[in-house]
Amino acid sequence: MKLDRDVYIAGVGETRFGKHTSDFDVLGRQAALQAMRDAHIEKPGIVQTAYVGNVQNGIVTGQMVFKDLGMCGDLAIINVESACSAGGMAVYCAVKDVATGTADISIAVGTENHSLTRQAGTAFAGATGDIETMQGLVFTGKYAMRANRYMFETGATPEDLAMVTVKNRRQATHNPHAWFKGNISIEEVLASRMVASPLTLQQCCGISDGAGAVVVCSREMTKNLGIQKPVKVSGAVVFSGPYHNRPRDLTGDDITEMAARRLYEESGIGPEDVNIIELHDAFTIAEILYYECLGLCRKGEGIKFLRDGESTYGGKCVVSPRGGMLSYGHPVGASGAAQIASCVKQLRGECAGYQVEPVPAVAMTHVTGGGMSGTEHAACTMHMLTKAWQA
């Protein structure tokens, strides 16, 4: 998306991720209130548009979130569903409103509660009416096939895959919002229950509950609100997966590669300039593949990038500094918004105990969503965020 005017993030909020007894609307309100307070918004009536990402919790989810905040009425509330990309796409829509002058201030929320509505032990699949879904393809199986092919082509081992979980759990150790954290060994990861070979339980993100929220606004509004550390949205892209029936490279991800190229082009920022990334690490193999798809390293060198410590603190680019989906869990509709909230706090230097040093100046987020036959994913949403103040 070409931004017609500068767009800034004025405030963010997020709940703890895990299993909640509070429903999605309560979680969404908690995150939204945090974000509005963070943005110094004393009168919610100044918010002009709202977007709410949700997948599993029924209809009019946005209205359910905002009604008890007294914001229903004049506020235009639009609900967004795009599988795992829903929360990120809600932020994209809010950015678009401000970029085009439709609004001077907009809020995006991603929220989800699976514990109260979803049967335990069920697996997520692609589009309901899709032929691959009807034949039993679930996402764990798809990523297991990708892992097997990658190991065949590169010589990577199950131990290499397990290193991703070890890294992300370690990075989440002091993050109060993460569900799983602390030290776990490669042996413990590999000894956990097999789900879809070679992916064991500890190599799959847990399906969690939670919410994230982001307030975006114009430059003038950041001044009116007295925002001292505005974060600039330097790029925002949404892609739908290209469809074809030709053979596909399971070790690549065409939709991510397309979205990344566009984001780098529109923002004027290359992969070598990015300090931190929150990406779609729903499974260990996913993070390794995305190193390559996002241009952090060359094709086939993802394992070397990981082994050399280039994706952790002190490396070239810290990937999943919050702990990623492998530590937070994945509340589907909430994850994309929470990624952005976490990156904003890193850019501000507010992540005590897990702050990246030196404090990053550039952050990128990446979240994919859904699946259909003939595509890698149904959607991909990415944002480029930059520090917009002088230290």
CA distance 205 to 118: 16
Give the span between the Cα atoms of 16 and 261, in whole angstroms.
33
Q: Which of 72, 84, 217, 297 is catalytic?
A: 84
For 154, other C-beta atoms within 10 Å of its C-beta total 17
Quote the tokens at residue 90. 């809600």
Closest CA to 281 of 312, 308, 258: 312
Torsional sign, CA 101, 106, 112, 117: negative
Question: By CB neighbour count within 10 A (0-12 exposed, 13-18 middle, 19+ buried), where does 155 fall?
Answer: exposed
Interatomic CA distance for residues 139 and 163, integer angstroms = 21
Would you call the peptide bond into 321 cis, given omega within 30 degrees of 0 as the criterion?
no
Check if 84 is active-site.
yes
CA 180, CA 45: separation in Å to the nearest integer?
37
How far does Cα 182 stand from its chain's mean position?
A: 21
What's the angle, vertex CA 368, arms to CA 367 and CA 374, rounded to 5? 165
Sequence length of the chain is: 391
Placement of tokens 């009807």 in the chain: 134
Q: Which residues are catalytic?
A: 84
